[in-house]
Amino acid sequence: SICSVSYGEIDFNESFIFIRMAFEVFHIVTAFGSLFITTLFFTKRTYTSFEQLQLEKNELYDIANYDSLTGLYNRRKMKQILHKYIVQWEVLNKPFVIAIGDIDYFKTFNDIYGHQSGDLILQDIGKILLSFLREGDAVCRWGGEEFLFVFQCQEPIALNILERLRKHIEKTPMLLAQEELHITMTFGVSEIQSGQSISELIENADKKLYQGKNNGRNCVIGSSHAKL
């Protein structure tokens, strides 16, 4: 009789311990599962937030550096590039050339075909300008229908590039309102000189541009000593 009670107590204790262990394992598994799900949730949220932050950062970079219409560099970005080039010129005596290009009779196109068509012309011209750049060169939309180039070379090379570009634009018709239009551009070119500032260099290129406009447009005007 005493022995049977004793065996019963042993069976009961073993069952109790087993059930308790099962509950402990269940709680541990549940806790780890909850922790894993929570970690996964917050990791996903963090990754999404980081991805969104990166997209916003890229968007702000584009706004700060690119013209929204043409996709070319904007005036602010070009000023940074010009600063780098002037430092290279002063320290390493590395020459560079500025050119300002202007679409001929652009106001007339806008008046006849509307500003939306004018925007399409600017976009098409922007793509052509980019296709003629070499490594180290840059172009931006300087304002309105004006574009500013910087070429890391001497003036005769830049004149040759711009003359080929001018001829390509002249021979490439653009379709507006189911009508083929022939666009031309005029370019003023100036090479950096000793003691010259960026603003003086740009001013000189601008004078060459207006000289080209007065000479009948659709031309490339540089210094009198530079040859194509």
> Is the separation of the CB atoms in 210 and 95 below 8 Å?
no
* Strands 220-221 and 138-143, bridge-based pairing: unpaired
**pLDDT confidence of residue 7:** 47
**pLDDT confidence of residue 16:** 63
* Cα–Cα distance measured from residue 134 to residue 155, given in angstroms and rounded to the nearest whole number: 15
**pLDDT confidence of residue 5:** 46
Tell me the torsion sign for CA atoms 76, 96, 201, 228: negative
Per-residue pLDDT for 176 more than 80?
no
**pLDDT confidence of residue 38:** 77
CB atoms within 10 A of CB 130: 14
Active-site residue among 14, 24, 135, 145?
145
Tokens encoding 187: 């370019």
> Is the separation of the CB atoms in 98 and 201 below 8 Å?
yes
- Tell me, yes or no, if 145 is annotated catalytic: yes
Whole-prediction pTM: 0.75
Sequence-separated (6 or more) residues with CB below 8 Å from residue 159: 189, 220, 222, 226, 227, 228
- Reported confidence tier of residue 14, pLDDT bands at 50, 70, 90: low
Tens digits of per-residue pLDDT, 127-172? 999 999 999 999 999 999 999 999 999 999 999 999 999 999 999 9
> Is the separation of the CB atoms in 154 and 95 below 8 Å?
yes
